[in-house]
Structure 1
Amino acid sequence: MTFDPTTLRREDYGFFGPDSPSWKIWTAPTAVIGFQRAVALEFFDPFLTASVSDTGKIYSDPRHRLDMTFAYFLIVAIGDTRTAIEASEHLMELHAKSTGIEPISGQRYSPNNPETQLWIHVTGWHSVLKAYEMFGPGPLSPEEEARYWQECVIAAELQTCKPEDVPATRDGVREYYAKVRARLCTSERAQAGIHQMLFTSPRHGAGWIYALGARLLSFASIATLPKWMRKLGQFDRPGIIDLLVRPAGRILVWLFTLFNKKGLILAAPIIAPMAGQILEQHLAAGVPTRPETLSPTEARALYGTRNRRAVPTAS
């Protein structure tokens, strides 16, 4: 699948617009740290682990998994609504074809399952904010944070999540993690997936440069995780490492932002080339045909099931 970066901003400003905290956070250099965190956490859901493992793609090219998933989230956060609706519909269609049996429970899995989709969504939006706070400018203002979580709920409308289940506050996110913790687990395949995303082997498709970049990035992404997640995933480490990583990471992000106004585009060819294309086009985009934002319901009425084209997928 390919993405045409000249079509990211056509009709409108998407769902959130230039003054939104989502635009600020999802285009910050820290977003790639947060997203490595998110794609590693996905494997705590045994049904998602089964889906990803059965396709086998993550073992031949882990960068593809991070890049395509990151690209989809970016399209929803900063793209125009036509592109976002088309990406969502295409992804749901592919997911509908990917079903099987989860071996731990013996139950059937589907990537479109609302609980699985909610886990992907919450870990993505929360992880990117967490990285922004720890390694970027710091916490949002109370008003910005409230708006960010409202935008998180809106973005979930493009997936199969039940709207009433999507956390709308930071406390709601904590309650969500507490609620699902009992069903999170690891397995041999989950461990393989987590370690592919954090400690990529150069033998697995992406090459030495990406493997080195992913391993360096993992120092920062692991530092954002609570102890219980690190122990569950069997990648915990001494606290002294976190104490060293946090100030070093903040300095590197600050330098990166200072000397490279294009943010993580500089690193995109190594870590996430398609996400880099989207960000580059986002920075170059002018005023759209209609300089306004739409709701997912309005956008779906305009663009749903029409003019589909190839878009990135997480499968």
Structure 2
Amino acid sequence: MADLGLFGPGTVSWRVHAEPILFVGGLRSLFLQALHPRAMAGVAQNSHYKDDPWGRLMRTTIYVATAVYGTTEEAVEAGRRLRAIHARMRARDPFTGEEFRIDEPELLRWVHVTEIESFITTARRAGVPLTDAEVDTYYWEQRRVAALAGLDPSTVPASAAEVTDYYASMQPALKVTRDAAEALVFLTAPPMPVSWKLNPAARLGLELGGPRLAYLGVASTALGLLPTWARRLYGGLGLPIEGFTAGLSARAIRAALGALPRRYTEGPIYQGAMARAAALTTQT
């Protein structure tokens, strides 16, 4: 009961990941990750994300929640399973044809950095009060999650300044490949979950276009929150007004999510962590 996992009350990670708006950050990170030719080739050649996008999203969500809010044993086991899956995967470079491992440190680091930078940037742009020092603390804390994926924590950026430098060093290698373009289109307008089509009320909503329009708004916000250089790579103008508008949209989405009953935004892994923390407080 006393095991609070890799983090715990008082950590920036627990506070940030309690925000439902992070699902927008997760989508933003996918747009960023797709810009790395090898990383995108690895996904395209090893996953069936187009066949089961919502299932893949759910599995990723569960992994992130387990790493942040699970017990130490649960987090370590989740990392072990992830490393085992990646160790079996290979892909071919879209330009050279060279075969490479999915668990190459460069690729793991790219996925990790784009994910956590997207989470903390989205949270901040959506109005979560975070100081510069807290942002740096979040990056430093998340090195523990990087270790779960198989990275040497000392090779992972641990501050906002280090992330900025890392992005600058990576930009010459980034580009929109055919796989990245297809991912952009798919992620912007994916098929709605099959379960919705089986529910009369949800099916009516789909026919009226409500969920699709709502998701398009979320996807547009995620794209607008991308760094200027990333928006330009995707063919956007990268104007400051785009980012400003996306920030307003992110705040509106966060406010809407905050109005929902907590049972809709708090998953069982988070609830378990809160119960363990409450039990520890009672014991002390």
In structure 2, do the counterparts of structure 1 residues 66 and 28 end up closer, same or farther at CA, with 3 Å as the change threshold? same
Aligned length: 270
Structure 1 position 150 matched with structure 2 position 150: no
Structure 1 residue 253: deviation in Å?
Answer: 1.3
**CA separation of 1:200 and 1:238: change in aligned 2, threshold 3 A:** farther
CA gap 1:240/1:142 in 2 versus in 1, 3 angstroms: closer
**Identity across matched positions, percent:** 24
Tell me which residue corresponds to 1:223. Answer: 224
Amino acid at match of 1:246: G
Partner of 2:252: 251
The correspondence of residues 69-148 of structure 1 with structure 2, limited to 5 A, is 69-138=60-129, 140-148=130-138
Q: Deviations over 1:247-291 (max 9, x none)?
A: 3431341243245345734xxxxxxxxxx44345445x3348988
Name the residue aligned to 1:34. Answer: 25
In 1, distance between residues paired with 2:215 and 2:161? Answer: 31
Give the Cα–Cα distance (whole angstroms) in 2 for the partners of residues 59 and 167 of structure 1: 31
1:198 is aligned, of 188, 201, 210, to: 188
Q: 1:217 & 1:164 partners in 2: Cα distance? A: 34
Q: Under a length normalisation based on structure 2, what TM-score does the superposition of the two structures give?
A: 0.83
- Please, which runs of 5 or more residues in structure 1 have no aligned partner? 1-9, 266-275, 292-315
Change beyond 3 A, Cα 1:163–1:56:
closer
- What amino acid is the match of 2:147? E
C-alpha offsets along residues 134-181 of structure 1, whole Å, 9 cap, x if unaligned? 11323x224423321210222211122232321111000000000111
Does the 8 Å CA contact 1:46/1:184 hold for their aligned counterparts?
yes
Cα distance in 1, alignment partners of residues 254 and 268 from structure 2: 20
Task: Report which of the two has the higher share of helix.
Answer: 2
Q: Distance in 2 between matches of 1:113 and 1:65?
A: 21
Q: Is the 8 A contact 1:58 1:196 kept in 2?
A: no
Q: Secondary structure at the match of 1:60?
A: coil
Q: Which residue identity does 1:195 align to in structure 2?
A: V
Deviation, structure 1 residue 68: 1.8
- Alignment match of 2:43 (pick from 34, 52, 58): 52
Counterpart of 2:168 in structure 1: which amino acid?
A
Amino acid at match of 1:196: F
Amino acid at match of 2:116: W
CA RMSD across the alignment? 2.9
- The separation in 1 between residues aligned to 2:132 and 2:64, in whole angstroms, is 24
Distance in 2, matches of 1:206 and 1:195, equals: 21
Q: Tell me the distance in 2 between the aligned counterparts of 1:98 and 1:204.
A: 28
| Residue 173, structure 1, aligned to residue 163, structure 2 | yes
Alignment partners' CA distance in 1, 2:276 and 2:128: 26
Q: Per the alignment, in what secondary structure is the counterpart of residue 112 of structure 2?
A: helix
Partner SS, residue 50 of structure 2: helix
Residue 214 (structure 1) shift:
3.4
Structure 2, unmatched stretches of 5+, are 198-205
Per the normalisation by structure 1, the TM-score is 0.75
- Letter paired with 2:37: P
Query: For 2:196 and 2:78, how far apart are their aligned partners in 1?
Result: 25
Structure 1 stretch displaced more, 67-76 or 14-23? 67-76
Distance in 1 between residues matched to 2:74 and 2:173, nearest whole Å: 34
Cα shift at 1:229: 0.4
SS in 2 for 1:104: coil
2 CA distance for matches of 1:41 and 1:30? 18
Classify the secondary structure of the residue corresponding to 1:44. coil
Distance change >3 Å, CA 235–CA 55, structure 1 → 2: farther
**Contact 1:15–1:81 (CA<8 Å) still a contact in 2?**
yes
After superposition, the Cα gap between the structure-2 partners of 1:168 and 1:206, relative to the gap in structure 1 and judged at 3 Å, is farther
The question of whether the paired residues in 1 share the 8 Å contact of 2:76 and 2:148 is answered with yes
**Equivalent in the alignment of 1:187:** 177
Per the alignment, do residues 243 and 125 of structure 1 end up closer, same or farther by CA in structure 2, a change over 3 Å counting? closer
Checking the alignment, whether the CA contact within 8 Å between 1:115 and 1:161 is kept in structure 2 is no
